[in-house]
């Protein structure tokens, strides 16, 4: 079974998603959904990542709490900006953040955290200089953003994965 369907749950999810996105289902869309559901997992086999070891599960739980709290705060701040409830001048900007983080999985999680938090967007990461370029909707002080990312997210991720 694993040779024909190396990732059966992924196959089923892809077929279901394809059919839901292409309503009403037709014989052609069903065939295409099955093709995608069978072929994509074979491609996934070629890029399977190495196992990741979580070294500090307690820190991971704390980081999740910090992330959820930051996400709620950011949603409120962005809503105020969009609705015009925030007085004063708002300016967007970019900040270059030097990262010490090297673990690829931790970098991927950092990108998800920063992009999922409203008002920030992971723009670019240069692996040679290990610099992250972050776009900020309400840019105030670059040093403050560097400190925030390093203290709130990078250090815990290093503790968890490195």
Q: What is the pLDDT of residue 44?
A: 79
- Top-ranked range on mean pLDDT: pick from 10-14, 22-26, 153-157: 153-157
Range of the domain at 29: 8-46
pTM of this prediction?
0.73
pLDDT in tens, 67-113: 999 999 999 988 888 888 877 777 889 999 999 999 998 999 999 99
Quick one: 15 and 84 in the same domain? no
Element holding 121 (H helix, E strand): strand 120-126
Quick one: 79 and 140 in the same domain? yes
Spell out the residues 6+ positions from residue 10 whose beta carbon is closer than 8 angstroms to its own: 40, 41, 44
Spell out the residues 6+ positions from residue 69 whose beta carbon is closer than 8 angstroms to its own: none
The HSE-up count of residue 7 (CA atoms within 13 Å, CB side) is: 18
Quick one: 134 and 76 in the same domain? yes
CB atoms within 10 A of CB 94: 14
When divided into structural domains, the chain yields a total of 2
Q: What is the signed CA dihedral for 85, 96, 112, 116, rounded to 10 degrees? A: 10
Is 132 domain-assigned? yes
């Amino acid at each position: 079974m694993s040779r024909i369907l190396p990732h059966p749950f992924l196959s089923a999810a892809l077929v279901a998603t394809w059919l839901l996105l292409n309503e009403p289902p037709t014989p052609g869309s069903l065939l295409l959904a099955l093709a995608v559901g069978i072929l994509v997992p074979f491609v996934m086999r070629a890029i399977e990542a190495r196992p990741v070891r979580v070294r500090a599960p307690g820190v991971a739980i704390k980081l999740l709490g910090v992330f959820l709290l930051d996400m709620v705060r950011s949603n409120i701040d962005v809503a105020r900006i969009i609705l015009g409830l925030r007085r004063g001048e708002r300016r967007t900007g970019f900040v270059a953040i030097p990262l010490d983080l090297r673990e690829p999985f931790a970098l991927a999680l950092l990108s998800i955290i920063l992009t999922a938090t409203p008002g920030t967007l992971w723009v670019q990461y240069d692996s040679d200089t290990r610099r992250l370029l972050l776009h900020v909707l309400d840019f105030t002080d670059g040093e403050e953003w560097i400190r925030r990312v390093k203290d709130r997210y990078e250090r815990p991720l290093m503790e968890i994965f490195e």
